[in-house]
Structure 1
Amino acid sequence: MNLRQIEILRALIRYNTTVAAAQALGLSQPAISNAIKVMEDQAGFSLFERHNNRLYPTSETRLLLEDVEAIFDLHERFESRIKDLRESRAGQLRVVATPPIGHGLLTRTIGRMQFLRPRVRTYFDIRRYEGVLLAIERHQAELGFLLGYTGHPGIASEELLAGEMVCVMHPDHPLAQHTVIEPADLRTHRLIALERGTKLGDGVRNAYEQCNEPFNFSCEVRYSNSACALAESNVGVAIVDPLTARSGHFNVAVVPFRPAIAVRAYAVWSDNRSLSRLGRYFMDQIRQSILNGTDFTKG
């Protein structure tokens, strides 16, 4: 039997007459009667006993009833799953990010999506810049988020927001009251440097070179989070991205740095795969978070 025939069988069991079953299914009474004949021929036994123009399921049909209901329960779950996917209420999403975006903007957006779409399962990972691009290339994640994206074959991107590097330090630090800090202001203070060879670390070194200032540091770290944690402990002054500085995770003073070092945040995804409905929904939530927040203000 096909699904339509099983639907007719179910209606006949429920309503006991061909007329009522036809009305419930929007079919003609002769179509229902013909369907009974075809189904009984296929089954090889009678499906109903007929008494006073009413139909009563045979013992064999009653045995089939449990399977009939199971089929329709499965069909209803299938239809519900389609609706959930259509409305981005279910499914799974894999995202990967570098720490500055991942530890602030992204975690808040994931939290909001989990509240709005509790049946969505999110897989979230923090990686270095190269690791984010590799995860997208290998389709290990649908969406990636990073700073300073400069283009990569096979990867599409969208610029989300732009800002400038800032100085962070203990609130009681002598430079905390400055309106702007330049490399010359840091000569007599301990500098916490971001790792050489990274986009942010090299950006700071280039700014020092632009000002003809020697780049002397007392501590070097890989991530802005580490730099902010050290600055909070009064180890020194760090020049970091504004997302990390203003994440709210650290009790530090934040002062604009000059010359300005531009920082841009991007979303990336595979160019040969269109974003899923859930991926597009997540991007909408990211954009909304940016509009509603102050994660990445200038200076």
Structure 2
Amino acid sequence: MIGRAANGADLMNLLYFSAFRAVMLTGTVSAAAELLGRSQPAVSRLLDKLESELGVTLFERRRGLVTPTSVAQLLLDEIERAYVSLDSLKSFAARVAEGESRRIDTAIMPALGLGFVPRLLGKFREEWPNTKILLNVTLSVKVEEWAASQQIDFGLAETPFRRSGFRIETFSDSPYIAAVPAHHPLADSSQIGPADLVDVAFISLAALTTAGQLVAQAFRSCGVKYDPAYETTVSSTMYEMVKNGVGVGLIDPYTAINDLDDRVRLVPFLPAIPFNVALLRPESRPANRAAEALLELMAAERDMLMKRLPR
């Protein structure tokens, strides 16, 4: 039904799906009606007609309340994918209307999106004062999703990837580095390994992240039990913990250099664990001169920062 030509009946079906989505997102028919600018009975009729056309029950109705069925959840997933594609088309149309290089849509993983990229935007604005930038800071898996659905001009995310629809270029592979409280016994070490962190309050990136899995693997390869006292999904949070003497953390090089603080010592970690960051370029997005200029600025800043890492 969703894939038929857009005749009059199909346009009405779009209203059905819009009403259904609004109810699923708001939780009630009354809230959905307010969101859509329609009456509550009108929204209820649209839901009834959708169920009739599909031949399934989407909601259990009891005492004025609607409870989604399992079928409704499956339908919502499908509709959300359609809305993602629609948003991508809207973004493209806006870019065409505004003209080339008037807007850059990005998605950046937190390690680079919280400090590294924001610090460059003032300098970028000097050369491109009329260019708007959308800076989405999100986990790598979301960056990959948006790149695959062509919603961004480029993204920066940690490898590996499971989707297609974008080109991949290496942006950085400098290793993670140990961040140690300045007065900690390990602060003056020339290098730190897993064995040095036994009986030490160790802060690691969470197991759900690529880095967390790589760190656990490094410990196992050295025959050392991996038992972090703290876990987090964001490097900047880890750095704050180290600054306040909570423990020793293994941190990405960008956060380490961008957030330099006298309360922290940076020590090389062995075995080296590369921080593999890739540049994702959606295949169907048009060329954007402003985006290329921003990427050139980012590459120059990256090269300068990495020279400051202790070896």
TM-score (norm 1): 0.66
**Alignment pair present for 1:264 and 2:264:** no
Alignment of 1:214-229 (within 5 A): 214-229=225-240
SS in 1 for 2:290: helix
SS in 2 for 1:176: coil
Q: 198-207 vs 284-293, which deviates more?
A: 284-293
Residue number among 287, 291, 294 corresponding to 1:275 in the alignment: 287
SS in 2 for 1:110: helix
Task: Determine the C-alpha separation between the residues in 2 that align with 1:160 and 1:236.
Answer: 30
Alignment of 1:278-289 (within 5 A): 278-289=290-301
Residue number among 142, 148, 154 corresponding to 2:165 in the alignment: 154
SS in 2 for 1:113: helix
Task: Determine the C-alpha separation between the residues in 2 that align with 1:112 and 1:151.
Answer: 34
Task: Determine the C-alpha separation between the residues in 2 that align with 1:256 and 1:192.
Answer: 16
1:107 is aligned to 118
Task: Give, in angstroms, the shift of residue 276 of structure 1.
Answer: 1.5
Q: Is the 8 A contact 2:147 2:165 kept in 1?
A: no
Task: Give, in angstroms, the shift of residue 116 of structure 1.
Answer: 2.0
**Alignment pair present for 1:254 and 2:266:** yes
Task: Determine the C-alpha separation between the residues in 1 that align with 2:305 and 2:196.
Answer: 31
**Alignment pair present for 1:142 and 2:168:** no
Please list the CA deviations of residues 148-175 of structure 1 after superposition, one character each: whole Å capped at 9, or x if unmatched: 3446311112212221111112111110
Q: Is the 8 A contact 1:163 1:297 kept in 2?
A: no
Task: Determine the C-alpha separation between the residues in 2 that align with 1:295 and 1:120.
Answer: 30
Judged with a 3 Å threshold, the aligned counterparts in structure 2 of structure 1 residues 164 and 298 are, in CA distance, closer, same or farther, namely: farther
Q: 151-160 vs 207-216, which deviates more?
A: 151-160
Please list the CA deviations of residues 76-95 of structure 1 after superposition, one character each: whole Å capped at 9, or x if unmatched: xxxxxxxx967x5xx11111
Please list the CA deviations of residues 60-106 of structure 1 after superposition, one character each: whole Å capped at 9, or x if unmatched: xxxxxxxxxxxxxxxxxxxxxxxx967x5xx1111110111112321
Q: Is the 8 A contact 2:150 2:283 kept in 1?
A: no
Judged with a 3 Å threshold, the aligned counterparts in structure 2 of structure 1 residues 156 and 298 are, in CA distance, closer, same or farther, namely: farther
1:126 is aligned to 137
Amino acid at match of 2:181: H
Q: Is the 8 A contact 1:243 1:296 kept in 2?
A: no
Judged with a 3 Å threshold, the aligned counterparts in structure 2 of structure 1 residues 296 and 155 are, in CA distance, closer, same or farther, namely: farther
Alignment of 1:152-191 (within 5 A): 152-191=163-202
Task: Determine the C-alpha separation between the residues in 1 that align with 2:179 and 2:173.
Answer: 19
Q: What is the number of equivalent residue pairs in this alignment?
A: 214
SS in 1 for 2:272: coil
Q: Is the 8 A contact 1:191 1:217 kept in 2?
A: yes
Q: Is the 8 A contact 2:148 2:164 kept in 1?
A: no
2:305 is aligned to 293
Please list the CA deviations of residues 245-272 of structure 1 after superposition, one character each: whole Å capped at 9, or x if unmatched: 1112544111011111112222112123
Q: Is the 8 A contact 2:150 2:285 kept in 1?
A: no
Task: Give, in angstroms, the shift of residue 297 of structure 1.
Answer: 4.1
Judged with a 3 Å threshold, the aligned counterparts in structure 2 of structure 1 residues 294 and 93 are, in CA distance, closer, same or farther, namely: same
2:243 is aligned to 232
Task: Give, in angstroms, the shift of residue 119 of structure 1.
Answer: 1.3
Amino acid at match of 1:117: W
Judged with a 3 Å threshold, the aligned counterparts in structure 2 of structure 1 residues 268 and 202 are, in CA distance, closer, same or farther, namely: same
Judged with a 3 Å threshold, the aligned counterparts in structure 2 of structure 1 residues 119 and 128 are, in CA distance, closer, same or farther, namely: same
TM-score (norm 2): 0.63
Which ranges of structure 1 fall in alignment gaps of 5 or more residues? Answer: 1-83
Aligned-pair RMSD on alpha carbons? 2.3
Q: Is the 8 A contact 1:159 1:266 kept in 2?
A: yes
Task: Determine the C-alpha separation between the residues in 2 that align with 1:100 and 1:159.
Answer: 16
Task: Determine the C-alpha separation between the residues in 2 that align with 1:196 and 1:223.
Answer: 12
Task: Give, in angstroms, the shift of residue 296 of structure 1.
Answer: 7.7
